[in-house]
Amino acid sequence: MASDDQRGLHYEQTLMYGRYTQELGAYAKEEAARLREEGVRRPSVTERSRSLELLENDKGCCAKCRICTVRCQKFLISCVGEDWIFLILLGLFMALLSWLVDFGIGICLQSQKWMYVNLESNVFLQYLAWVTYPVVLITFSAGFTQLLAPQAVGSGIPEIKTILRGVVLKECLTFKTFVAKVIGLTSALGSGMPLGKESPFVHIASLGAALLCKFMSLFGGIYENESRNIELLSVACAVGVSCVFAAPIGGLLFSIEAMSTFFTVRNYWRGFFAATVTAFMYRVLAVWNRDEVTITALLPTNFRQDFPFDLQELPAFAVLGIASGLGGALFVCLNRQIVQLIRNQKTIKKFLMKKRLLYPALVTLLVSTLTFPPGFGQFMAAKLTQMESLETLLDNQTWSKQGIPEEFDSNSLSQAWKHPQVNVFVTLTLFVVMKFWMSALAMTMPVPCGAFMPVFVIGAAFGRLVGESMAAWFPDGVHSDGTIYPIEPGVYAAVGAAALSGAVTHTVSTAVVVFELTGQISHILPVMIAVILANAVAQSLQPSLYDSLIMIKKLPYLPELGWGHHEKYNICVEDIMIRDVMYITLNCCYRDLHDVLLTGHLKTLALLESSESMILLGSIERAQIQALLSLQLGRPRRLKYLRDRATAEKRLSVGSHPGSEDGSTMVNQEVHFQVNKISTEETSLSSTPTPSMKPLKPALKRPSVVDCPTEIPMPTSPQDHSGSTLKNLFRVRPDIEGLEDDFHVDDDMTIREIAEWEENQLDEQVNFDNCMIDPAPIQLVESTSLHKTHTIFSLLGLDHAYVTSIGRLIGVVSLKELQKAIEGSVAVKGVNVRPPLASFRDSGTSGTIMNNENKARDLHKLWNRRKLMSLPQEHRASDSDEKSK
């Protein structure tokens, strides 16, 4: 149903997460090329306005007035092009949207509560209402999303991360996705399931920015600039976080840490500005709505400021941090295991794939049954919504002193944590354990949802548990001299929230989010220590949640270089590069192209000057080569050949009739030209370097790519219909080929003749005239370090780079090799994979000298070749030589 959105990209809508089956990098490139071509065809906006102006001048009447209008218009357009206009618009729009979504969620939750309260007389009806309501909402969310835009499912941060890496996932940034995500998110969160708003909102903000860019590009051409739009996308991420927590700084920092590999500092200002506007607007809306008197933090706390914590409490915070780190790693692992379990169980998968809405409904049923307040829910404060639980957990008071539960205000929300029979500790522990697996499970539902907020709440509950234990252990605080400073469990809750969410997302900025959320920064050191320890533990055990999702979704993303693994500093390009590079030369024939396409699967091929010199000239995309081949072997050209032959034959037969000469002169010349061309091509073709020549130059260590095809069974027998071999290369458009087959009967060539003709055509030399060649592919040297390579790849969004030595191609490094190299040394297997040549290079001196010698030898070779080649020009050159003396 959503097939029109998925044109060309093989997106497989799986049960829980979509999976991309085509290599996205390749698709992105094709898409970019298509866009480029479209851009050429469409006249630019500036041109249109210019023509308008000319028109105005022509008319002459009311000239002044019109000129004034045009000028005003121009000024407005130039204003629209300014960054700050865009940022303010984006900020205001997203804040408003976030507020509206909150409003919608609030209504949904309230109506559930209202139903629950009004049906208190009948427990069964109560249960039915409690369970049916979320099931309906989640099913609606899943169904709606799936119908409108399946890409809206899930967190969205992995996709944005991939887009920021330079891969164009176009269908992730459409208006349909936007609508699906907003409505799906509202109904999903309205169900009260343990889902988060934060990461979907990052996606929504990115969508908003992309759509706003598109809208603004109607006014000013600057919004058509691709690199600028990518920069604005990364700003949008900050806006997304900022409008959920009203945390401008934390939002910006979180978006930097979670999304980018390299951050452009000039973008920092933009992010700061947009995030501030967003947070401001979001909180002002609350003031205007009379929820608040003035702008304050979202969840203001009231911790002690003059003595925020004692130095002796720090070990407790450190333990909390380490435990959170373990918990975070466990969460990521659990989530992945659930996905893989269901993916691997073929029968379950088959069944669930048929009834896609069954899975979310079942999960919701399970979770809401367990949280039914009169049932098991009474032991885990299930009455409270996420924000309410968070508010109570950050509470200033101590809930339990020396094991005896304290009295709460009767109208306080915190009462939900109190159970007449059960201890507060048990309630908290149950809450943590149950919510933990529930969140990990709920996240796998195919609805727009995130995990940050549930994890944040679980962390706060865990922190509260530790804090309450500390308060019970040291009822008079730990400070030794004089004044009594009781322990505040609320501080532990804040610390735990930051630590666990930091551990799951592998960020340290959650600390800043906590400060901005609570409006207090005095407990900065405990929070930061816990967050850092949690990160250290979690990073050494598991990838971040977003990286884990990227792996599950198989998005084309380059893994991060970890910190501390210093072996990686010793790896060079020469250790990881592939030496057997597929290449074509300037003077190759179509047969070579054909062979190369048959053997290799790389998306681009290197174009060399010649296979002796190995000088890299550029790279050609596979699609371009296919186009060249199809042009050469296609039916139109064959028909033309037939026509030409027929004309020639006719001319031969009517050779003595001078009457028809006038009409056929044109054709005549054309044929002549054609013949000439073929003959010259044949002479040049005969000079094509062929495998037989190669053993003469063993020092080049030339890869034997071109040798291989000769061993592949080739359709050389004349009976074979060799057109079909070619067709294998073009499986993409089978219908067109089918059409051609139908027409084959019409032309009078036998299959044998066609085969012969095709054989001849294949031997012609390639004409690269109309071919799109990338004229300067990125080149590395053998000694480029892994770090630098990683930098270049992630900054420029490459998927391969050629390794050259003095202009000569010696290898290629693609994303795959780089991934292997990074993961090889990041792997937690204890054994560090030593790259094959590293030991050789370690012996310092000899390696360098070797390199120099090699270089010298290479140069010598080029030089000798030149001497050989330049012989014919000797005469002219010596003339000029005399002149210059």
807 binds a second copy (CB under 8 A): yes
Nearer to a second copy, 39 or 734 (CB): 39
Task: Show the tokens assigned to 32.
Answer: 């970019």
Are the beta carbons of 478 and 313 closer than 8 angstroms? yes
Instruction: Say whether 314 sits in a helix, a strand or coil.
Output: helix
Site pattern 156..175 for a second copy (x: CB under 8 A): --------------------
Binding of a second copy at residue 47 (CB under 8 A)? yes
775 binding a second copy? (CB under 8 A): yes
Nearer to a second copy, 134 or 248 (CB): 248
By CB neighbour count within 10 A (0-12 exposed, 13-18 middle, 19+ buried), where does 372 fall? middle
Nearest to 17 by CA among 737, 551, 530: 551
Window 661-720: residues binding a second copy (CB under 8 A): 680, 683-693, 710, 716
Give residue 331's region: left, alpha or beta (phi > 0; psi -120 to 50). Answer: alpha
H or E element: which one contains 800? strand 800-805
Minimum CB distance to a second copy, residue 768 (Å) = 5
Task: Tell whether the torsion through CA atoms of 289, 294, 297 and 299 is positive or negative.
Answer: negative
CB of 671 to a second copy, least distance (A): 22
Which CB atom, from 138 or from 780, has the smaller least distance to a second copy?
780
Q: How far is the CB of 68 from a second copy (least distance, A)?
A: 21
User: Which of 148, 323, 449, 561 is in the footprint of a second copy by CB under 8 A?
Assistant: 561
The rounded distance, in Å, linking the Cα atoms of 278 and 91 is 4
> Could you give the CA distance from residue 177 to residue 207 in angstroms, rounded to a whole number?
8
The smaller minimum CB distance to a second copy, of residues 306 and 742, is found at: 306
Task: Tell me if 773 contacts a second copy by CB under 8 A.
Answer: yes
Which residue, 256 or 593, has its beta carbon nearer to a second copy?
A: 256
Burial zone of 485 (CB within 10 Å; 0-12 exposed, 13-18 middle, 19+ buried): middle
Contact 25, 169 (CB under 8 A): no
Select the span of 167-175, 358-366, 662-670, 858-866 touching a second copy (CB under 8 A). Answer: 858-866
DSSP-assigned letter for residue 225:
-
228 binds a second copy (CB under 8 A): yes
Minimum CB distance to a second copy, residue 776 (Å): 4
Site for a second copy in 416-435 (CB under 8 A): none
d(CA 36, CA 225): 11
Q: Which residue has the tokens 């291989």?
A: 708
DSSP state of 607: E
User: Which of residues 350 and 697 has its CB atom nearest to a second copy in the complex?
Assistant: 697
Beta pairing class for 800-805 and 779-780: parallel
CB 13 within 8 Å of CB 150: yes
Binding range to a second copy, per CB under 8 A, among 133-141, 190-198, 201-209, 779-787: 779-787
Of 219, 280, 408, 730, the residue at the interface with a second copy (CB under 8 A) is 280
Q: Which of 508, 571, 597, 633 binds a second copy (CB under 8 A)?
A: 508
Smallest separation, CB 869 to a second copy (Å): 5
Is 734 a binding residue for a second copy by CB under 8 A? The answer is no
Q: How many residues bind a second copy (CB under 8 A)?
A: 153
Distance, CA of 834 to CA of 782 (rounded, Å): 17
Minimum distance from residue 875 beta carbon to a second copy (Å): 9
Name residues contacting a second copy, limited to 303-342 (CB under 8 A): 305-311
Q: Which two tokens stand for residue 640?
A: 């033309």
Q: How far is the CB of 42 from a second copy (least distance, A)?
A: 8
Sign of CA dihedral 336, 338, 339, 345: positive
Cβ closest to a second copy, residue 458 vs residue 576: 576
Q: Does 227 interact with a second copy (rule: CB under 8 A)?
A: yes
From the list 81, 104, 143, 715, which residue makes contact with a second copy (rule: CB under 8 A)? 81
Q: How far apart are CA 549 and CA 332, in angstroms?
A: 9
Query: Which residues, 49 to 68, sit near a second copy by CB under 8 A?
Result: none
Q: Give CA–CA dist 443/681, Å, rounded.
A: 63
CA distance 643 to 105: 72
Structure tokens at 420: 């007449």
| Interface stretch with a second copy, choices 208-216, 547-555, 763-771, 823-831 (CB under 8 A) | 763-771
Site for a second copy contains 512 (CB under 8 A): yes
Among 10, 350, 733, 787, binds a second copy (CB under 8 A): 787
- Give least dist CB 480 to a second copy, A: 11
Choose the binding region for a second copy from 283-291, 366-374, 489-497, 739-747 (rule: CB under 8 A).
Answer: 283-291
Q: Give 809's strand partners.
A: 804
Residue 851 tokens read as 């390199």
Minimum distance between the CB of residue 202 and a second copy, rounded to whole angstroms?
A: 16
Token digits of residue 215 = 């809208």
Question: Cβ neighbours of residue 267 under 8 Å, at least 6 residues apart?
Answer: 231, 234, 235
* Window 571 to 610, contacts with a second copy (CB under 8 A): 586-587, 591, 607, 609-610
In this complex, which beta carbon is closest to a second copy, that of residue 227 or of residue 656? 227
Task: Judge contact between 513 and 254, C-beta under 8 A.
Answer: yes
What is the contact mask toward a second copy in residues 829 to 848, using x (rule: CB under 8 A)?
Answer: -------------xxxx--x
Report the site for a second copy in 464-493 (rule: CB under 8 A): 479
Q: Alpha-carbon distance 542 to 498, whole Å?
A: 18
The verdict on 268 binding a second copy (CB under 8 A) reads yes
Distance CA 364, CA 234 (A): 34
Query: Which range, of 192-200, 364-372, 509-517, 625-633, touches a second copy by CB under 8 A?
Result: 509-517
Asked whether position 632 contacts a second copy by CB under 8 A, the answer is: no
